[in-house]
Amino acid sequence: MHFSSGLVASMAIILPILALPTSSTQSKLLPAADAVPGESSLFVNYAGKKTPLASKWMKAIAPSASGPAGPDDLLFQNLLSAEWIIYSFYQQAVETFSPCDFTKLGLPNSTYQRIAEIRDNEAGHVRIFQNQISDNSMKPGPCKYEYGFGHNASIFLALQVYIEVSSMAFLTGLSLLAEANISKSALMAIGQVETRHNTWSLIDVYNTSPFSGPSDTIYPYANQILDMTNAFIVPGSCPTENPVYPTPRQDLPRMAFLGNGTTGRPGSNIQFVFDPTGNQPKFVDGTDYYAVFYHGVNTVSVPYDPTKNSVQIPKPFDPDTGIVMVSIADQVDAPTEESVVAGPLIILEQPGILTLKEPSVA
């Protein structure tokens, strides 16, 4: 390939702009109480087991002003409550595990370090979302959480994939609810970071392709995905000041699928089950129901017989990439939030090794 002398000269002018920062421009580690995302290494590469968040941020924060709520306060209240779940998941892992817990699984020496760095990013998300809520509104605090990984690093890593793909799915849906352009930009910026977290896991942990196809899966009703994460909250442990999570909450019946007898791949049959300890779907005689599948930007509805609970995952979906989501609705393509009567359920296509190990509600 031949470059003209003029082009080379132009590149010589442009490239210095892309130079890495020198030590004099590197961010400094500020005290935790004053640390600002984007300015402090606490949210980038802090390696301690103790939380990078100061105690003043680790609680529900009452409004400090009076007046109308900001246009996206409710959205960020829901998102902050969800972020406490995600951040606490990584914080518990950093406190529980050590580097050897991952290297003895044959994983790279940097695995624990990467998990700590993700924890740092998630702590930064907590602070970003707190700042996005106006001083006229309550800023939800953390609850107590139980994730079920104990001291098992393998279970933690499996849950990590589900939590990260869930994050991307509800962030795409939340962008539909944002009113202010800056809120939409913030959601996109956070979503890009969450994608990097999952990309790291797919490459270093599961040794698989990080590419999920031309689009991540869009699910239009973010609060329904957020509600799924209530399963991690210890009942009665949330600050009394916290608003209902999520608001509004439909509290739909939770779905899972029977792992035996299915590949969980497009074209295969799948049988749904519902949490026997929770809400049960109320199917009305004479009403048509549909299993509504989402993959990438595509939506496909399949007639659903409540007496059989079994349908075929649409064949046209590309296999082995990203996720498939499904809910049960009483209208084709679930055109409204209210038309969904159960779900949603995430079927992980990538990495395929986890497809039939999805946590079951049965």
CATH code for the domain in which residue 299 is found: 2.60.40
Residues 303 and 156 in one domain: no
Residues 288 and 324 in one domain: yes
Give pLDDT, residue 6.
44
Domain membership flag for residue 93: yes
Distance in angstroms (rounded) separating the CA atoms of residues 226 and 272: 20
Sheet hosting strand 323-329, strand order edge to edge: 298-304, 289-295, 323-329, 340-348
Residues 297 and 328 in one domain: yes
Q: How far apart are the first and last CA of the chain?
A: 61
pLDDT score of 301 more than 90: yes
State mean pLDDT over 213-242.
93
Q: What b-and-e string marks burial along 258-288, b requiring 16 or more CB atoms within 10 Å of the CB?
A: eeeebebbbeeebebebbeeeeebeeeeeee
Q: Which of 81, 108, 94 minimizes the C-alpha distance to 46?
A: 94
Residues 50 and 129 in one domain: yes
Residues 278 and 329 in one domain: yes
Residue ending a domain, among 232, 263, 288, is 232
Give pLDDT, residue 115.
97
Give pLDDT, residue 353.
64
SS3 150: coil
pLDDT score of 357 more than 60: no
Give pLDDT, residue 31.
63
Which residue's structure tokens are 């924890």? 119
Q: How many domains does the chain fold into?
A: 2
Sign of torsion, CA 8 9 11 15?
A: positive
Residues 56 and 184 in one domain: yes
Residues 209 and 317 in one domain: no
Domain membership flag for residue 245: no
Domain membership flag for residue 341: yes
CA atoms within 13 A on the CB side of 182: 10
Q: Which of 337, 339, 340, 336 minimizes the C-alpha distance to 326?
A: 340
**333 vs 31, residue with greater confidence:** 333
Residues 213 and 291 in one domain: no
Domain membership flag for residue 223: yes
Contact between 358 and 317 under an 8 Å Cβ cutoff? The reply is no
Domain membership flag for residue 27: no
Per-residue pLDDT tens over the stretch 7-56? 334 434 444 444 444 443 334 556 677 888 888 888 999 999 999 999 99
Residues 222 and 268 in one domain: no
Residues recorded for the chain: 362
Query: What's the chain's average pLDDT?
Result: 87
Residues 120 and 218 in one domain: yes
Per-residue pLDDT tens over the stretch 61-108? 999 999 999 999 999 999 999 999 999 999 999 999 999 999 999 999
Residues 58 and 205 in one domain: yes
Contact between 152 and 105 under an 8 Å Cβ cutoff? The reply is no
Give pLDDT, residue 81.
97
State mean pLDDT over 274-293.
92
Give pLDDT, residue 14.
45
pLDDT band at 208 (very low <50, low <70, confident <90, very high): confident
Domain membership flag for residue 238: no
The percentage of residues in the chain with a pLDDT greater than 90, rounded to a whole number, is 64
pTM of the predicted model over 0.95: no
Domain membership flag for residue 285: yes
Residues 130 and 260 in one domain: no
Give pLDDT, residue 153.
95
Give pLDDT, residue 29.
56
Q: What totals of helices (H) and strands (E) does the chain contain, helices first?
A: 7, 7
pLDDT band at 4 (very low <50, low <70, confident <90, very high): very low
Domain ranges, residue 329? 255-357
pLDDT band at 354 (very low <50, low <70, confident <90, very high): low
Give pLDDT, residue 211.
87
Domain membership flag for residue 22: no
